[in-house]
């Protein structure tokens, strides 16, 4: 079974600084998708960014970008110019592009923004 590991239960960053959240995964598949979700205190899960494994180029969405290292099975999220509204739980997730495999989440990283 695929596993997703987020080794940082909590992180903090000064407002306007940059922070990187780590995520590693274990799979024998070659074609899959990776996601980062954000869950603010409102508890609504919000998709932050998505990466297709067949794409070598790292996905970017405004201040959010990923460092996708397929060989190392690593998928870190970089948040630039951190804002107070970025404070949330961040979850990394994986799904295979084959069969009916379900989406697998990591355990999450709680990000605190220091004003």
Residue owning tokens 């067949």: 54
Contact letters (x/-) for another protein, 83-102, by CB under 8 A?
A: ------x-x-x-x-x--x-x
**CB 102: neighbour CB atoms within 10 A?**
9
User: Of the candidates 15, 17, 30, 45, which one interacts with another protein according to CB under 8 A?
Assistant: 45
Helix (H, G, I), strand (E, B) or coil at 51: strand
Closest CB to another protein among 13 and 48? 48
Residues near another protein (CB under 8 A), total: 22
Residues in the chain: 115
Smallest gap from Cβ 60 to another protein, in A, equals: 16
CA distance 115 to 111: 13
Contact between 43 and another protein per CB under 8 A? yes
Question: Which of these ranges, 19-27, 60-68, 69-77, 106-114, lies near another protein under the rule CB under 8 A?
Answer: 106-114
How many angstroms from the chain centroid is the CA of residue 36? Answer: 3
CA distance 27 to 1: 8
- Residues in touch with another protein (CB under 8 A): 33, 35, 37, 43-45, 47, 50, 89, 91, 93, 95, 97, 100, 102-108, 110
């Amino acid at each position: 079974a695929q596993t997703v590991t987020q080794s940082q239960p909590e992180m903090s960053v000064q407002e306007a600084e940059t922070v990187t959240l780590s995520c590693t995964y274990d799979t024998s598949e070659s074609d899959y998708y990776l996601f980062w979700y954000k869950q603010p205190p409102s508890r609504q899960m919000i998709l932050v960014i998505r990466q297709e494994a067949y794409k070598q180029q790292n996905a970017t969405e405004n201040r959010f970008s990923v460092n996708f290292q397929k060989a190392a099975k690593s998928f870190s999220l970089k948040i630039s110019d951190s804002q107070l509204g970025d404070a949330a739980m961040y979850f990394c997730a994986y799904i295979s592009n084959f069969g009916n495999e379900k989406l697998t989440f990591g355990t999450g990283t709680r990000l605190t923004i220091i004003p």
